[in-house]
Amino acid sequence: MISVLAGGVGAARFLRGLCLAVDPARVVAVVNTGDDTELHGLSISPDIDTVIYTLANAIDPERGWGLRDETWRAMASLERFTDVRPAGSRAAPTWFNLGDQDLATHFYRTARLQEGASLTEVTDEIRRSFELLVNVIPMTDDRVRTLVTIAECDSPVSGETISFQEYFVRHRHSLPVASVTFDGALTATLNPRARLHDSERIIIAPSNPIVSIGPLRALAGVDDLLRARRNAVVAISPIVAGAALKGPADRMLRELGMEPTVVGVARLYSEVCGTLIIDTRDAHLASAVEAEGLRCLVTDTIMSDPNVARDLAALTLT
Ligand code: FO1
């Protein structure tokens, strides 16, 4: 098996390439669930859905999340309640966009969880409904939630601790971050189907090291497992030329006192990972990465089309 530690968009694009390079049935995507949220009484797992929709070629290619050819009539109808909602009520929030077709996934997941199914079982059912062969599993069946503490700033939530989706979507990841924590991680159990102890390769996808890979590494015992398999662990830097390809990873690294470069990524991963793959734009930093104690490979990591992703995936297996 090949285990891939995965966040959302970057991981999904990488997995699409990996499934072109090897038999998808050999791949297990171990997906971050720290981003999960509950809205309208629905259980929403954004990274799991991004991975499944991308692999099924059903993702909206521009947004990178949600389904293509989506309509938004349910969201538009929620606006009706804006003026009548009592102060303090959290009913019918409209800051998190759930498309009409996407809602079906959340209805199904919520109903199955309420029937007592585990998130692993439901995720597998959703995966099968999209006729995918690749194994997609939540990192854990336990509840883990990424919380973001906002630094002092000119915002009503200055100094407050808010959920990841409030930070990311509601405040458009524009507020300065003082710290990130993973509520529930210490007592959560890594999904046993992750196969970290015996998979032939463990790949850390090009996902945000703090809020996508961070929750996985925070689960009890995961860093120990990775450390023990360090030579089999390969990471792809999500930072290229000092910037994140998508999302706030570069700003977040800086705000948390880390270097927003491939060298900063190397420092974060060096304990648990033997090889770091960096983009050709960062080739001049390869020796600085190696000085952190990792083997460094240089290639095109910007997955503008599936063939680039396939070649990148093939390199992770060498
Ligand atoms: N991202 C946004 O920027 N705005 C949204 O309204 C939004 C809704 C949404 C609904 C379902 C889903 O599965 C993902 C959604 N995302 C949205 C993406 C998601 O919140 C983030 O990209 C990830 O959590 C970060 O990996």
Whole-number Cα distances in Å, 75 to 16, 45, 93, 99, 226: 30, 18, 9, 7, 42
pLDDT attached to residue 246: 85
pLDDT attached to residue 116: 98
Task: State in words which class domain 1-142+189-318 has.
Answer: alpha beta
Whether the per-residue pLDDT at 245 is higher than 90: the answer is no
In angstroms, the CA 204 to CA 124 distance is 21
Half-sphere exposure of 54 (CA within 13 A, CB side): 30
Predicted confidence (pLDDT) per residue in 294-309, tens digit? 999 999 999 988 999 9
Predicted confidence (pLDDT) per residue in 248-278, tens digit? 999 999 999 999 999 999 999 999 999 999 9
Predicted confidence (pLDDT) per residue in 93-147, tens digit? 999 999 999 999 999 999 999 999 999 999 999 999 999 999 999 999 999 999 9
What is the CA(10)–ligand 1 centre distance, in A? Answer: 13
Domain boundaries in the chain?
1-142+189-318, 145-185
What is the CA(194)–ligand 1 centre distance, in A? Answer: 24
Answer whether 143's CB lies under 8 Å from 170's CB. Answer: no
pLDDT attached to residue 132: 98
The structure's pTM equals: 0.97
Provide residues with CB under 6 Å of ligand 1.
7-8, 35, 44, 46-47, 49-50, 65-66, 96-98, 102, 165, 168-169
* Ligand 1 atom at shortest distance from the alpha carbon of 165: 20
Strand pairing of 233-236 and 275-279? parallel
Q: Which letter, b or e, does each residue of 200-227 get, where b requires 16 or more Cβ atoms within 10 Å of its Cβ?
A: ebbbbbbbbbbbbbbbbbbbeebeebbe
